Structure 1
């Protein structure tokens, strides 16, 4: 009872952590936590008795690079779940090929896996196994939270508010909760690292027996058998022993060995201290080798590398170029966001996003406060915990440097990877916020920080995680809205695109346009179709969005016949789009694995080769269709020829492109044909290229007022054309009557029925 009375607040924090972890686990669908879809297959293969995987870069496996990890976590998780039949995993591990993994600003496709009723409560099979392992991970993480509290109490036994604040920051850190409630070996290595740090600090303060040192070595060995990042604990233990035996600032009673003081009153001579350091360090190292050495020896035999990192990097993918400090500093933004909370496949931000700058300010305040506190307690006679704090700082530095080295080899700039040092980090944050304040103000600050972190932890599952995987509330439409544009095109007899809506008629580069499609299943669909929605201009792609329907949440094989599905697609117009001019929207279905498109037919049963839904006007503030040679020719107040691009020195037999820049002056009631004629001195046409503008893609009757189009026609010069001077004429004519649009002067009087463009020199073949 005395323990409960002394630590009742800590017990409440621990219970809140477990409850919040359960909430995060329920909010996150299986296989949607960071790398869970690779971690769990490793567990499953061990549970099925298949032994440790052998990593081969040319062999595709479900565990990918995670098969190179030390096996302790996976072995324990396999023991927990070996009794469960997980033969349904292939059905549940249905990957979303359009998942925006690592793209937190993407509006949809947050889900890495397609989810259906097979994983809903009550759980069974693979879903049950995953949730059981998540509970196991959560209990491990609860041990880490407890270690953070005990570590702070060890150093500040008379200031429990600091220990409680450090514990609360650890317990309510959203990213720590998210990882703790997932299948991930981080939970075990973080716990064992925190236990090791606590033991080392206690050793500094209380001394260590041989049994203690052997136990410490066992813990470090287990950590090294959990994840490679724990290898840094080995030199950390050596540093702790150095601080124990060689720190001049350490009180003599702590520095003196159990076998008695030296003749100098407790001050150790150098060589006996070196011998004792070596003896104690060997007592730590021997269990490490016994517990974990076999796995590193196995790696040496298989891969020629005791860590197995070479094999892991071959599978995970190496960086093409080793990043410099500037690039790594640029990636620090993602690092710090991921430390506080970046969920799913590194693609779900906390909401609202101003939380991140607020946490940055709190971090800066903690650093400043830590400096102020350190300045106040610098005198050794007032504070004897510097060796322990030095050790904690060294562990944080070791983990951080190791992460920099790792992320220099592969893309891994994730703040969660520094969690093996989470206990020390949370202690320093609490010390920075509270250490320099008066006792009363410490309590207020602790309540403020703890309350803020608890609020963030509570909000994330409801404001960020769950909504990212939920199907849209208006996914199923009772009917097509009356103001939607009818389309009625069938795709392969499976689905019909009934109608569509576009939220803009005019767009500029960088604009976002939302296209809403209304689909109807015509029969049970066995294929999982992808939907493409493309915005394009003449000879330029302006944007495209490919996805399973409903942002990846409702694939076609789940559709019920007759159901009307509202399917939104958001597209960003290319920032470098050229214009002004027209843009078109096309949409349809295709099979992702084969890229085949089902046959599209309209309501009359006629094939639709290229389904175009609608046209947009692309407005560009500064005209980017800039002709090399400007003109100003008015064709009957309907069209202007504002310039052209063409070589003026050509040779016989050449395919000669001539690009014309048209600007519509108003609606045209006919589809005119462009003529491009090369004429000799007698007026005879020697070569020509007549045809609809933009290769029939955009007839003149569809041109909107003010649109500018660049229209290329290729003139095939005869092989026997005589060298000399020629003239190029262009214009527009009605293909039915042959009538040419007249060319008008500034007064509106007809000058000609063709535009003289330029003179052309034909020379012999070079």
Structure 2
């Protein structure tokens, strides 16, 4: 018996390979992608976090404000994340730094882009460990990836049923599975905090039951099971609301083919409806009992209000406005009129790739492949009358999920909201697997003995696209981590401990980078001395203080100076919050300085001058012995420096970035700013520092 089981497992080895590759590439993509980078990911996190901490559904206005704008959606995915998480408390650091409703965090500038602020709801990446809210967010992503893997397995089983009468059915099923498992949009969305893969799983299970019933209209309990899966999809996401129409069509098709009497139609529909009601009815009843506005707005508007009219998104408000006759919601004025073609093109592109970049030739090829699929399906319809049953039902099921995006586009004209292809891909992914493989086998009959091969080739091509773009080129995070932690330690053990009180912040320690010994400087690959300052924020800062670090010679003359803000301008003091542990990196170019004894000094400047300490405004950090002077990096009269390295004249500096220039002592430099005004930098030996504000 065990040998038989092993043999059966080996016969599905291709599926296990697909799952292994899927888990690897999705896990990598998810890990590399910054938190909050996925569509509405922050809202899903807020909803799940509320359920985990509060332990009940958000029905009051106050609770929904805390739970975020997705709290009007059905709760199943968020509830599963909240219930299954066992990674510790969410009431202690580290906390996720959301810009949502925290204006102070909007002061943080984006990675390397001048004057671009984080004004939309995003997450500030920090150096905190994988614990607390950060671990909770990652756990939500892992569950999404797991649901995607289960979805792949169900689609494989579904394809085995559809192609069960074909020669080599397992290879047909393998090709069908591969053709959708490596679609970049599926990989990306399955790796973020989102309910899409769970919705796709329930509807894939429903299609699996539907195919069973299309083959054999009994037993009766399968209709109940089909309804249960539809209801689970509806209680996961409201966009599954059209799915019951697919269930009705299934019963009508099965009954017509079997020649049922009317009473059997009614009993099967009743069983299906009971399944939907059992898994989804409770939520719709509960939300209407708790949140309906019938007394204030009448029956229609009052029942729509809890679902569509609470202000969660623009499209919902517009739909509520239309359905209620203008009583609730809002009417949107469009600055730009988009066309139906704009919507269709955006939908097509995001169906295949939501975020993954690629040359235009890839999308042109996908248009051609899609044309071959459609041509092949037409040939299947004409040449194989028995196939019309499968195609007709699957086409109807798929068409249902085009309806809501189309209505949203018509009512809002927002292509980027109403044309997101993953809203079509996930609910009908099982159907697309059949369409792609069957259509390509007829539309591109290059392998008459192995017609399933075209679907497998497409899957391998999509996998290659993923690997090339995400692994070889690197899938870079949307935002570089800020040098801040919300958990201990304030400074590493190697830092020199301090306790300097500068009012809103305290300097807890410092560390020198590039030393050859305790005080000797510097290593050959360090053209600048690195000074790491470890701060702890005690209260909200009233202004953005500038840190001044100087290397002073024996004559008390500053020979090289750093003037700047934390994270090279990306993380100014006003963005710091009480409890933040911030590492500020200052760099002091050493090119051209004579060997000898120097002293490292520190000042903190505000708008009214330097902040004072008990012993004055300047603090001596410690001695530095310059023993090995780095050679000049380039044979030019002056050099630009950025974070301790020389850069070319085409270097890009962000808002509030520190710009350092080294030049010969007798040279006069003139800087021309964006206002076209000329400025002469303050000179101190060879270092001429300024801060771009």
TM over 0.5: yes
Cα gap change, 1:111/1:492 in structure 2, threshold over 3 Å: closer, same or farther?
A: closer
Alignment of structure 1 residues 686-705 onto 2, 5 Å: none
2:667 aligns with none
Alignment of structure 1 residues 388-403 onto 2, 5 Å: 388-403=390-405
**How many residues of Structure 1 are paired with residues of Structure 2 in the alignment?**
490
1:330 aligns with 342
Partner SS, residue 123 of structure 2 = coil
Q: Are residues 1:14 and 2:19 paired?
A: yes
2:466 aligns with 457
1:447 Cα shift?
4.2
1:125 Cα shift?
1.4
Partner SS, residue 89 of structure 2 = coil
Partner SS, residue 70 of structure 1 = coil
1:282 Cα shift?
0.3
- Deviations along 1:624-676, whole A, 9 cap, x unmatched? xxxxxxxxxxxxxxxxxxxxxxxxxxxxxxxxxxxxxxxxxxxxxxxxxxxxx
Partner SS, residue 561 of structure 1 = strand
1:607 aligns with none
Q: 1:124 aligns with which of 131, 140, 160?
A: 131
2:505 aligns with none
Q: 1:141 aligns with which of 132, 138, 148?
A: 148
Q: 2:475 aligns with which of 466, 472, 476?
A: 466
Give the Cα–Cα distance (whole angstroms) in 1 for the partners of residues 221 and 653 of structure 2: 73
Give the Cα–Cα distance (whole angstroms) in 1 for the partners of residues 250 and 337 of structure 2: 30
Partner SS, residue 66 of structure 1 = coil
Q: Which structure has the higher relative contact order (CA within 8 Å, separation 6+)? A: 2
2:307 aligns with 309
1:371 aligns with 378
Cα gap change, 1:154/1:306 in structure 2, threshold over 3 Å: closer, same or farther?
A: farther
- Greater share of strand: 1
Cα gap change, 1:340/1:331 in structure 2, threshold over 3 Å: closer, same or farther?
A: same
Asked if structure 2 preserves the Cα contact closer than 8 Å seen for 1:322 and 1:408, the reply is: no
1:551 aligns with none
Cα gap change, 1:406/1:54 in structure 2, threshold over 3 Å: closer, same or farther?
A: farther
Q: Are residues 1:494 and 2:546 paired?
A: yes
1:60 Cα shift?
8.1
Asked if structure 2 preserves the Cα contact closer than 8 Å seen for 1:334 and 1:414, the reply is: yes
Give the Cα–Cα distance (whole angstroms) in 2 for the partners of residues 313 and 478 of structure 1: 54
Alignment of structure 1 residues 441-456 onto 2, 5 Å: 441-442=450-451, 444-456=453-465
1:203 Cα shift?
0.6
1:27 aligns with 32
Partner SS, residue 673 of structure 2 = strand
Alignment of structure 1 residues 155-234 onto 2, 5 Å: 155-157=162-164, 158=166, 159-234=169-244
Asked if structure 2 preserves the Cα contact closer than 8 Å seen for 1:47 and 1:82, the reply is: no
2:82 aligns with 78
Cα gap change, 1:137/1:203 in structure 2, threshold over 3 Å: closer, same or farther?
A: same
- Deviations along 1:351-395, whole A, 9 cap, x unmatched? 345322222222222222222333322xx3xxx232232111111
Give the Cα–Cα distance (whole angstroms) in 2 for the partners of residues 216 and 125 of structure 1: 38
Q: Are residues 1:61 and 2:65 paired?
A: yes
Q: Are residues 1:298 and 2:310 paired?
A: no
Asked if structure 2 preserves the Cα contact closer than 8 Å seen for 1:166 and 1:429, the reply is: yes
1:639 aligns with none
Cα gap change, 1:561/1:389 in structure 2, threshold over 3 Å: closer, same or farther?
A: same
TM-score (norm 1): 0.57
1:189 Cα shift?
0.9
1:177 Cα shift?
1.1
1:285 Cα shift?
0.5
Cα gap change, 1:282/1:111 in structure 2, threshold over 3 Å: closer, same or farther?
A: closer
Q: Are residues 1:339 and 2:314 paired?
A: no
1:183 Cα shift?
1.3
1:8 Cα shift?
1.7
2:366 aligns with 359
Give the Cα–Cα distance (whole angstroms) in 1 for the partners of residues 234 and 211 of structure 2: 19
1:146 Cα shift?
1.6
Give the Cα–Cα distance (whole angstroms) in 1 for the partners of residues 432 and 128 of structure 2: 40
Partner SS, residue 57 of structure 2 = coil
Asked if structure 2 preserves the Cα contact closer than 8 Å seen for 1:39 and 1:66, the reply is: yes
Asked if structure 2 preserves the Cα contact closer than 8 Å seen for 1:526 and 1:557, the reply is: no
- Deviations along 1:490-512, whole A, 9 cap, x unmatched? x96516899xxxxxxxxxxxxxx
- Deviations along 1:382-440, whole A, 9 cap, x unmatched? xx232232111111100011221234445422111112111111210111112453543
Q: 2:250 aligns with which of 208, 229, 240?
A: 240
Partner SS, residue 339 of structure 2 = helix
1:522 Cα shift?
4.6
- Deviations along 1:109-153, whole A, 9 cap, x unmatched? 89942212115xxx2112222222222211211121122222222
Give the Cα–Cα distance (whole angstroms) in 1 for the partners of residues 274 and 465 of structure 2: 44
1:690 aligns with none
Asked if structure 1 preserves the Cα contact closer than 8 Å seen for 2:73 and 2:238, the reply is: yes
1:287 aligns with 275
Partner SS, residue 560 of structure 1 = strand
Give the Cα–Cα distance (whole angstroms) in 2 for the partners of residues 242 and 364 of structure 1: 31
Give the Cα–Cα distance (whole angstroms) in 1 for the partners of residues 83 and 653 of structure 2: 52
Identify unmatched segments of 5+ residues in structure 1.
Answer: 256-267, 344-348, 481-490, 499-518, 532-547, 549-554, 568-584, 591-610, 617-696, 699-766
Asked if structure 2 preserves the Cα contact closer than 8 Å seen for 1:586 and 1:613, the reply is: no
1:545 aligns with none
Cα gap change, 1:523/1:615 in structure 2, threshold over 3 Å: closer, same or farther?
A: closer
Give the Cα–Cα distance (whole angstroms) in 2 for the partners of residues 99 and 220 of structure 1: 44
Give the Cα–Cα distance (whole angstroms) in 2 for the partners of residues 373 and 100 of structure 1: 55
The range that moved more, 386-395 or 453-462, is: 453-462
1:416 aligns with 422
Partner SS, residue 442 of structure 1 = coil
Identify unmatched segments of 5+ residues in structure 2.
Answer: 1-5, 293-301, 319-331, 482-512, 514-524, 529-542, 551-560, 589-640, 645-651, 658-670, 679-693
The range that moved more, 226-235 or 106-115, is: 106-115
Asked if structure 1 preserves the Cα contact closer than 8 Å seen for 2:569 and 2:655, the reply is: no
Cα gap change, 1:27/1:613 in structure 2, threshold over 3 Å: closer, same or farther?
A: same
Partner SS, residue 67 of structure 1 = coil
The range that moved more, 9-18 or 275-284, is: 9-18
Asked if structure 2 preserves the Cα contact closer than 8 Å seen for 1:64 and 1:316, the reply is: no
Q: 1:613 aligns with which of 650, 653, 673?
A: 673
Partner SS, residue 427 of structure 1 = helix
Give the Cα–Cα distance (whole angstroms) in 2 for the partners of residues 275 and 204 of structure 1: 19
TM-score (norm 2): 0.62
Cα gap change, 1:137/1:525 in structure 2, threshold over 3 Å: closer, same or farther?
A: closer
- Deviations along 1:218-276, whole A, 9 cap, x unmatched? 22221111111222221111101111112xxx4xxxx1xxxxxxxxxxxx3xxx63321
Q: 2:584 aligns with which of 559, 571, 578?
A: 559
Asked if structure 2 preserves the Cα contact closer than 8 Å seen for 1:520 and 1:561, the reply is: yes
